[in-house]
Amino acid sequence: MAEFPFQSCDRELVESVYGQFSPGAGVCIDSRSVCPGAIFFGIPGQRVDGASFAAEALAAGAALAVVGHASTGLPSDPRIVRTPDPALLLQALAAHHRGQLSIPVLAVTGSNGKTTTRSLIQAALATRYLVGGTSGNHNNELGLPLSILNAPRDAQLLVLEMGASKPGDIALLCALARPTHGLITNVGEAHLEGFGSLEGVAAAKGELFAHLAASGGTGFVNADDPLVAPQAERVHLGCSASPYSQGMYQAAASQGDDGQLGAQLAWAGQSYSLRTQLVGGYNLANLVAALHVALHFNIEAQRAVEAFASYQPVGHRSRLIAGARGNRIIADCYNANPSSMRLAVDNLLALAGDAPKLLILGAMNELGEDSPRAHGELLDSLRGLENARMIYIGEQWNAARRPGFWFHTTEHARAFIANELPSDSWILVKGSRAYGLEALVELLTGGE
């Protein structure tokens, strides 16, 4: 009996579609990104059936368009492949392709810092290997198959990011990617609505170590996180564990006058200093994790450190941006949970000192019944901040009786901020992705 639904896909159909697969052209689920020879998957969504773009994808040069049996209004075309569930066929195709690869596959998961850590690892490994894997935020049950199938034809390593919002998500992604190596950055209060508790988060992330223990893989274990190491012990990772800590690399963080993170690291009797383009002392843990992995794959420490110094943050994650009117903006608005929010606020306070401060905080989603407590505790921690103004966005804050300004939506906050732009201030923009806070970053940096 199949453990996961994709494993029940018709094998003949999988092999038939794979016969049309070209690693150079890849696959896509967005008809606007079709390149000649690609396979387009029309995934049914809540509002739009991707199959409605099948004809457009074929006209753009797609070799096949995979759609659901129930999709209607499509032309009669032998290049249109029907299946009960296009998403499952996409997963089955990725798993089949993974079976053809005999290269190391590293999976990176964790509550916070997984995108930055994954990107730092990719940067270091790319100094020696042709590296494929996750780009952008392709880390779920649709994005991960795309990352596997769209990897370079001659990739020597894959580095895949794995996200999760409920138990079983990581186990599914491991079944698809079959990682040979794995890293859990940390365990924090993320997606509590799906996991139920901090212990539930730890157990779900630990599904990665469980896969590695069963398959004989190597797990990189963050010994500084009290909830990560027990997951390795729980599944008896044993000699397949490769523990690391900040002390092991004599790691220390510093902040320059420009706010960028500096780091001192040591290994094998050599000391290394670097200035990164990251912001926040919490990124020191990500640097240490990336260095540990790089050394495991025989990257010289000096080359890894140089790669870290050159790495530019992607999207609005831990970015320090020069804004209009002499403001300095910390844009960290891709996602938020209680753990990452506290770290971001503490970092702003450390950098700003006595300077004026503006905290623009979007609510933290997917916390379930813990949401009132988590938002209330953060609000309480902000009481009494000197020379600071607060703007809260989202109903979860329930901030009506708290100092600051409270808005239901980002658009409402934008209209207010446009007329109240500060000067010579440190500004933190942080919140869950659903609020689209990057629009406020654009406003603060001089955009329309």
CB-CB contact of 92 with 39 (8 Å): no
- Per-residue pLDDT band for 319 (boundaries 50, 70, 90) equals confident
From its phi and psi, is residue 353 left (phi > 0), alpha (psi between -120 and 50) or beta? left
DSSP state of 189: S
Mean pLDDT of the 409-437 span: 94
Which CATH code, of 3.40.630.30, 1.10.8.10, 3.40.1390.10, 3.40.50.12140, is assigned to 5-84? 3.40.1390.10
Q: What is the mean pLDDT of the chain?
A: 93
Mean pLDDT of the 177-182 span: 98
Which phi and psi angles does 67 have, rounded to 5°? -135, 170
> How is domain 101-310 classified at the CATH fold level?
UDP-N-acetylmuramoyl-L-alanine:D-glutamate ligase (3.40.1190)
- Per-residue pLDDT band for 193 (boundaries 50, 70, 90) equals confident
Domain layout of the chain by residue ranges:
5-84, 101-310, 319-445
Distance CA 76, CA 409 (A): 45
Four-CA torsion 231, 235, 238, 239, nearest 10 degrees? -100
> Measured between alpha carbons, how far is residue 330 from residues 336, 344, 349, 410 in Å?
14, 9, 11, 17
Distance CA 363, CA 335 (A): 10
- Per-residue pLDDT band for 47 (boundaries 50, 70, 90) equals confident
Check whether 185 has a pLDDT greater than 60.
Answer: yes
- Per-residue pLDDT band for 1 (boundaries 50, 70, 90) equals low
In the numeric block, the tokens 């997917």 are attached to: 366
Distance CA 126, CA 120 (A): 10
CB-CB contact of 228 with 222 (8 Å): yes
Check whether 194 has a pLDDT greater than 90.
Answer: no
With CA atoms as reference, report the closest residue to 316 among 136, 161, 134, 146: 136
Check whether 328 has a pLDDT greater than 90.
Answer: yes
Check whether 403 has a pLDDT greater than 90.
Answer: no
Check whether 277 has a pLDDT greater than 90.
Answer: yes
> Measured between alpha carbons, how far is residue 370 from residues 192, 214, 262, 341, 402 in Å?
7, 34, 35, 15, 20
Mean pLDDT of the 269-275 span: 97
Residue 49 tokens read as: 């059936």
Mean pLDDT of the 409-431 span: 94
Q: What is the pLDDT of residue 383?
A: 85
DSSP state of 365: -
> How is domain 319-445 classified at the CATH fold level?
Protein-Tyrosine Phosphatase; Chain A (3.90.190)
Check whether 399 has a pLDDT greater than 60.
Answer: no
Check whether 45 has a pLDDT greater than 70.
Answer: yes
- Per-residue pLDDT band for 157 (boundaries 50, 70, 90) equals very high
Q: What is the pLDDT of residue 2?
A: 66
Check whether 448 has a pLDDT greater than 60.
Answer: no
Residue 94 tokens read as: 């990725």
Distance CA 410, CA 414 (A): 6
Task: Render 286-348 in DSSP notation, one character per residue.
Answer: HHHHHHHHHHHTT--HHHHHHHHHH----TTSSEEEE-GGG-EEEEE-S---HHHHHHHHHHH
Distance CA 137, CA 162 (A): 10
Distance CA 81, CA 39 (A): 10
Mean pLDDT of the 62-81 span: 93
User: Would you give the end-to-end CA distance of the chain in angstroms?
Assistant: 56
Task: Render 136-176 in DSSP notation, one character per residue.
Answer: TT--STTHHHHHHHTS-TT-SEEEEE---SSTTHHHHHHHH
